[in-house]
Amino acid sequence: MQLTTKEIMEIIPHRHPFLLVDTIEELEPGVKAVGKKCVTYHEDFFAGHFPNEPVMPGVLQIEALAQTGAVAILSKEENKGKTAYFGGIQSAKFKTKVVPGDVLTLEVEIIREKGPVGIGKAVAKNQHGKVTVTAEMTFMVG
C-alpha cells in the first residue's frame, strides 16, 4: 500500500514544517512502513544547521523515522484516530551525513508490542543505499 502526503496527514498529526515524511511507499499496518523524505535546500532547519555546510540534524532523521513508524502503528484498525508518542530511543547510530538533494528511504519494522507500548527497529538510507542512521524506538499509543 502506498500513501501520499495528504493521506499521511490523515493518520498522523504532523504538519509543515514538521512533517518529515513525503510519501509511504510500502505499508503493512501494525507491522512495517517504508517512507521517503526528499531533502531540499529549502528545509527550514538548513538556515541554521549549518549555513555554510547544510547538514540535516540527526535528531530530525530520527523524527522522520518515528513519523514513519507512527504511520505503521496508527494504521492498525484499533489505533485509527489515536496518536503515537515517542517513548525513547535506544542504540541510535549516525553513519552518513544527510545533505540537500538526498532522498532518504525510511524503514521501520514494529518488532515488539504490549498493550499501548511498542518498539520499532528503524533504518534510514540515502539514494545510494548508504545507511544514514539506525535506531530502536519506543512508542506509546494514546
Omega prior to 18 cis, within 30 of 0: no
In one-letter notation, the amino acid at residue 18 is F
Instruction: Indicate if 49 belongs to the active site.
Output: yes
DSSP codes of every residue in 69-81: HHHHHHTSGGGTT
Residue 68 pLDDT > 90, yes or no? yes
In one-letter notation, the amino acid at residue 17 is P
Q: What share of the chain is helix, strand, coil (3-state, %, to 5)?
A: 20, 40, 40
The share of the chain scoring above pLDDT 90, in percent, equals 98
Q: What is the pLDDT of residues 13-46, one digit of tens each?
A: 999 999 999 999 999 999 999 999 999 999 999 9
Q: What is the pLDDT of residues 128-137, one digit of tens each?
A: 999 999 999 9
Cell 484498525, residue located? 77
First-to-last C-alpha distance (Å) of the chain? 25
Q: Are 75 and 90 in contact (CB under 8 A)?
A: no
Active-site hit among 14, 42, 49, 128? 49
Residue 11 pLDDT > 90, yes or no? yes
Q: What is the pLDDT of residues 75-113, one digit of tens each?
A: 999 999 999 999 999 999 999 999 999 999 999 999 999
Q: What pLDDT is stored for residue 24 in this prediction?
A: 98
Determine if residue 124 is left, alpha or beta; phi over 0 gives left, psi from -120 to 50 gives alpha, anything else beta. Answer: beta
Q: What is the pLDDT of residues 38-49, one digit of tens each?
A: 999 999 999 999
Who contacts 131 (Cβ-Cβ below 8 Å, separation ≥6)? 95, 96, 123, 124, 125
Residue 51 pLDDT > 90, yes or no? no
Task: Enter the pTM of the model.
Answer: 0.97
Q: Are 106 and 35 in contact (CB under 8 A)?
A: yes
